[in-house]
Amino acid sequence: MASKAGRYTPAIILTVSLFFLWGMANNLNDILIAHFRRAFTLSDFETSFVQQAFYMGYFLLATPAAMLARRRGYKAAIVTGLTLYAIGALLFYPATHFGEYRWFLAALFVIACGLAFLETSASPLIAELGSPEGAARRLNFAQAANPLGTIFGVLVGKYFILSSFAQDEKALAAMSAAERTATLRGELASVQTPYLVIGLVVLAFAIAAALIAFPDNRRDGDAPAVPTGKALGTVLRDRTLVFAVVAQFFYVGAQVGLWSYTIRYAQVNLPGLTEQGAADYLFASLVLFGIGRFVGAAMLGKVPAPQLLAVFAGLSAALTVAAVFVGGTTGLYALVAASFFMSIQFPTIFAIGIGGLGPLKQIGASLIVMAIIGGAVLTAAMGHLSDLAGINLALLVPAVAFLVVLAFGVRATGTAGDVEFAAAGH
């Protein structure tokens, strides 16, 4: 096994980088929501189309991604994913030229299609590249790249997309309607260069992935291949997996919804705060999220995973409720603090869900990745509720979602054994 790990060192390095790349893409969306809201004069519900388009790509492509990885190998799936990611990022260039919201949504959909291939393949591949007893350590190391990517994405968005002029409401108010529209549309150009650079970098990764060696999971599997249809029926009879898919749907919806509207919440609860200033609170949320992942990983060495998941989900719900009813600076601090306790929820749900599937883990993993569609559904629900009753009350949606995760953790406490902190990196 050690020689195998050495032989595939370039593949390990490239695969770890994938966690960074999809973290960056996911959290750039939170910046785009604030940016597009101004540029296209959108309601909160309309801004949720960003996440709806993005997570629809995950939902539709997760199963095809798993099938490609099973039939053609990890390399084919990763090259395909990186290529789609690069194409989607490069599509921001013509989208800026057309200046229409729908073209940006189409580009984000293509990016997410690529990420579905990457997320479905990366964790099983990292687990395979080395000794079984070292799988948890390798996966934890890979996950560390994910919060770094999310933080980097917010910094890119803050300093290269949210322009300083965009915050000058007085200057905009003094303009005629035509001048205001032209000015706001002109700000769309700020997304062009960052996404062009991202597209070219990801394309370079795709070329590198095509040239280096990956293990052939078509030959190296420990069990005979199971027809995909039969495998799907088998995993769907696992109640823990099914509940994990439900819990993941609600968790991702809560995470995406909170981060999508953190800038909006900050500006409503701290009047006069600029978008760039509000982005600092999103940045703080992601830093706490990253710290929480390391702290949570250490705690999981002493506390059973289902129990810790239940505690963290309960605290996330409590802090979100505080943000709903307290508001102001205190509410904003509570909202930011919730990210610390969100940190272990995705990977722990993931690990519990696939823990008993054996050679069918990849099929189970694809179903959990499909559950990421919760990011689209719950964010849309938050946007609609925000338009009706305000952004504070809209946070009741993620608060309820965290209670679903709490219920999963409580149930898993009585049915699951020890689960290592080893899964994908949201």
For residue 29, give the amino acid letter.
Answer: N
User: How far apart, in whole angstroms, are the C-alpha atoms of residue 2 and residue 394?
Assistant: 51
Longest dimension (CA), the chain: 70
CATH number for the segment(s) 1-215:
1.20.1250.20
The two tokens of residue 337 are 């603090």
CA torsion, ordered 37, 40, 41, 42, to nearest 10 deg: -60
* 238 within 8 A of 356, measured Cβ to Cβ: yes
Question: What superfamily in CATH does domain 227-425 come from?
Answer: MFS general substrate transporter like domains (1.20.1250.20)
- Annotated domain spans of the chain: 1-215, 227-425
Each residue's pLDDT expressed in tens, for the chain with a length of 426 residues: 445 556 778 888 899 899 999 989 988 998 999 889 888 889 999 999 999 999 999 889 988 888 888 788 889 999 999 999 999 999 999 999 888 999 999 999 999 999 999 988 887 787 667 665 555 556 666 777 888 898 899 889 888 887 655 546 666 667 777 777 777 777 788 899 999 999 999 999 999 999 998 887 654 444 444 455 676 777 788 888 899 999 999 999 999 999 999 999 999 999 989 888 999 999 999 999 989 988 888 887 788 889 999 999 999 999 999 999 999 999 999 999 999 999 889 888 988 887 777 767 777 878 888 898 999 999 999 999 999 999 999 999 999 999 999 999 999 886 654 455 544 456
Q: What is the pLDDT of residue 367?
A: 85
Are the folds of 1-215 and 227-425 the same? yes
Q: Residue written as tokens 């979602």?
A: 401
**Among positive and negative, which fits the CA dihedral 145, 150, 153, 154?**
negative
Q: Residue written as tokens 């129990």?
A: 307
DSSP string, 369-404: HHGGGHHHHHHHHHHHHHHHH-HHHHTHHHHHHHHH
